Amino acid sequence: MEFTPLYILQVIPELLRRLGVTLWLAAATMLFSTLFGALLAWAKLGKSRVLRALANAYTAVLRCTPTLILLFLCYYGLPKAFAPLGVDLNRMSRFCYSLIAFTLLNGALMSEVIRSTYESIDRGQFEAAATVGMTPFQTLRRIILPQGVYIALPNLGTTMITLLKEASLAFTIGLVDLMGQAKLIISLRYGARALETYLALTLIYWALTFLIARLVSRLERAFGAGRFERAREAAP
Amino acid sequence: MLRISHLSKSFGSNQVIKDLSIDIRQGDVTVLLGPSGCGKTTLLRCIDFLERAESGTLSFADGGAVEFATAAKKEIARCRRRFGFVFQNHNLFSNKTALENVTEGLIVARRIPKPEAVAIGREALARVGLANREDYYPNQLSGGQQQRVGIARAIAAKPDVILLDEPTSALDPELTGEVLDVMKALAEDGVTMLAVTHEMTFAQDVAKRIVFMDGGVIIEDSTPRAFFAKPREERARQFLKRLLPNYGEYTI
Ligand SMILES: Nc1ncnc2c1ncn2[C@@H]1O[C@H](COP(=O)(O)OP(=O)(O)OP(=O)(O)O)[C@@H](O)[C@H]1O
Ligand SMILES: [Mg+2]
């Protein structure tokens, strides 16, 4: 069959019908893995040796697990693991399996982002805040977090983009996201126009990635007050 | 005004402060001297509960006493209101402007309404000569200006005592003057200070009292005049000899 560039444009709207699934999966994964990552980072930075060792071991193991395999392990393994407890996971949606698998992996990555960010912030500011009477929680929220978000943003952006792309693997367990939709369209046409469809898909992912990068640099500007303005008139 | 008695602090098996007692009198400028590693920083940090001492009491002339080892969060918070702390490397909040650095604690911890806190903050910045820098972020300020903001933050809430830990030793030599001038002006205003500094001119001209420490104990406590003329202790003499190269010459 002949290559038809026009078809690329025609198939885009059809693919976009599943954009929501891809975005929801990425967003929900990001949310849960940030929470999970914060918990792991807390364990890594804490005093308890056992918790520290557990969190570090978890991170190491998850980092060494290929995403696709982790996805299969969750999809086939979780129902088996929970069956003896009387929990039937066979009817859990593919979206949930994908969310769990990506959160398990991404949480490990996020915990490293959070830990390294926390450690990069000068402890002296914690002490200074204490001397003016601020509680640790107030310090965290008003001093440490704003600086941390700024420091972590480039890392967060990379993590988010990687996640968005890796999440396309979820089609392998039958989730119909952007990638799943592309597969479906192609198979409905008995394999015809596969190249055009994948090119259209590529364009969509490029656009999404571009938007995330833009968003991150916007946020960097917002949180970087006092760092971006360095260029302003130097004080004599 | 306040008294620290029988303060002891160890790091592991290394006892850094040994049963140390000191009175701080209102309006006094006390300079704490001593060789490196003798525990000056640790003493200041224990007083403001940045380190937990194993024993010792902090008592105030207007009543009330707190055990360093067992003070609860609330007591610590109450004690900290009496102190301002100036750090060696200023420790300014890097995401806050000069003015916000000063007002943050007032608004968040003291719950002073914002307009009032801003007025207090402006006054504090004016006292350190930075009225025109209130909207600058720390990295837009010179080292000397940063440290002055640090001092403004410490004095803003009008604490009883300002604790200063080598406020000029992280600065380029040409920037120490402006910080010392601010400290001198505060001293003239009657602000009570306990300062660790190696600036001997400050110690000689501004201090009312010199406390010399070694090995975690105070071994000499006298006026600058008496101390610089002839310290009683050999260790203090050695110390001065190292800091003031021509020391022996003009004392005899
Ligand atoms: N957090 C800590 N953990 C372990 N040991 C410490 C700690 N802080 C200080 N020390 C030890 O306590 C002793 C006193 O330190 P300190 O910083 O109080 O001395 P200093 O008089 O301020 O010295 P300098 O003039 O060099 O600033 C030193 O032997 C130091 O190694
Ligand atoms: Mg010191």
Show the ligand 1 pocket: residues with CB < 6 angstroms: B 11, 16, 34, 36-42
- Flag if A127 and B94 touch (Cβ within 8 Å): no
The token pair at A66 is 């290929």
Helix axes A194-223, A19-45, angle to 10 degrees: 50
Measured by CA distance, the residue closest to atom 7 of ligand 1 is B11
CA distance B143 to chain A (A): 11
Best substitution site from B8, B13, B16, B51 to test ligand 1's pocket, by max atoms within 8 Å of Cβ?
A: B16
Separation of B166 CA from ligand 2 center, angstroms? 7
Instruction: Please name the residue that has the structure tokens 């480039």.
Output: A154
Q: Which two tokens stand for residue B108?
A: 């968040």
In this prediction, residue B165 has a pLDDT band, given cuts at 50, 70 and 90, of very high
CB-CB: which of A133, A147, A230 is closest to B139? A230
Identity of the residue numbered B233: E
How close B111 comes to chain A (CA, Å)? Answer: 11
Residue B119 · residue B110 · CB < 8 Å? no
C-alpha angle A222-A226-A232 in degrees, rounded to nearest 5: 110
CB-based contacts of A183, cutoff 8 Å, min separation 6 = A171
Whether chain B has a CB inside 8 Å of the CB on A228: the answer is no
Q: Give the pLDDT band (50/70/90) at residue B229.
A: confident
Contact between B149 and B141 under an 8 Å Cβ cutoff? The reply is yes
**Nearest-CA distance from A198 to chain B in Å?**
45
Residue B153 φ/ψ, nearest 5 degrees:
-60, -40
Tell me: pLDDT of B252 over 60.
Answer: no
Q: A residues 131-190 near B, CB within 8 Å?
A: 131-135, 138, 142-143, 146-147, 150
Residue with CA closest to ligand 1 atom 22: B41
A107 near A37, Cβ under 8 Å? yes
pLDDT confidence of residue A233: 44
Provide, as residue numbers in chain B, all residues whose Cβ is less than 8 Å from the Cβ of A128. 85, 87, 91-93, 150, 153
pTM of the model: 0.83
What amino acid occupies position B32?
L
Specify whether the backbone of B113 is left (phi greater than 0), alpha (psi in -120 to 50) or beta.
beta
On the CB side of B109, how many CA atoms lie within 13 Å of its CA?
26
Within 13 Å and on the Cβ side, how many CA atoms surround A226?
21
Q: Do A229 and B140 touch (CB under 8 A)?
A: yes
DSSP helix/strand/coil, B17: strand
Please give the backbone phi and psi of residue B246, each rounded to the nearest 5 degrees, phi first: -100, 30
Give tens-digit pLDDT for B140-153: 999 999 999 999 99
* Residue numbers in A near B95 (CB within 8 A): 143, 146-147, 150, 223, 225-226
Q: Is the pLDDT of residue B64 over 90?
A: no
Percent of chain B whose predicted confidence (pLDDT) is above 70: 97
> Which residues of chain A fall short of a pLDDT of 50?
228, 230-236
Q: What pLDDT, on the 0 to 100 scale, is given for residue B250?
A: 54
Tokens of A233: 């008139």
d(CA A135, CA A129): 8
Candidates A123, A125, A132: best to mutate against B (most CBs of B within 10 A) is A132
Please, where are the H alpha helices in A64-144? 67-82, 94-120, 123-131, 136-139
Residues of B with CB under 8 A from a CB of A: 48-50, 77, 80-81, 83-85, 87, 89, 91-97, 104-106, 108-110, 133, 136-142, 145, 150, 153-154, 157
**Which run of H or E residues covers position B106?**
helix B98-108
Nearest to B39 by CA among B56, B26, B59, B27: B56
Residue B104 to residue A134, Cβ atoms within 8 A? yes
Residue in A127, A130, A229 nearest the CB of B137:
A229
Q: Which of B5, B45, B177 is nearest to A124 (CA)?
A: B45
Ligand 1 atom at shortest distance from the alpha carbon of B43: 18
**How would you classify the pairing of strands B83-86 and B2-11?**
unpaired
Task: Please give the interface size between A and B, counted as residue pairs whose CB atoms are below 8 Å apart.
Answer: 90
Neighbours of B58 (CB within 10 A): 24
Contact B31, B220 (CB under 8 A): no
Tell me the pairing of strands B217-222 and B161-165.
Answer: unpaired
B16 has a pLDDT exceeding 50: yes
User: How far does the CA of residue A164 sit from the closest CA of chain B (Å)?
Assistant: 31
Asked if residues A178 and A18 have their Cβ atoms less than 8 Å apart, the reply is yes
What confidence score (pLDDT) does residue A234 get?
Answer: 43
DSSP string covering A182-196: HHHHHHHTTTTTHHH
pLDDT in tens, A131-170: 999 999 999 999 998 898 888 999 999 999 999 999 999 9
Whole-number average pLDDT of chain B: 92
- Each residue's pLDDT tens digit, B175-213: 999 999 999 999 999 999 999 998 988 999 999 999 999
Using an 8 Å CB-CB cutoff, list chain A residues near B81.
133
**Which domains are assigned to chain A?**
5-234 (1.10.3720.10)
A150 and B140 in contact by Cβ < 8 A? no
Mean of pLDDT values over B165-171: 92
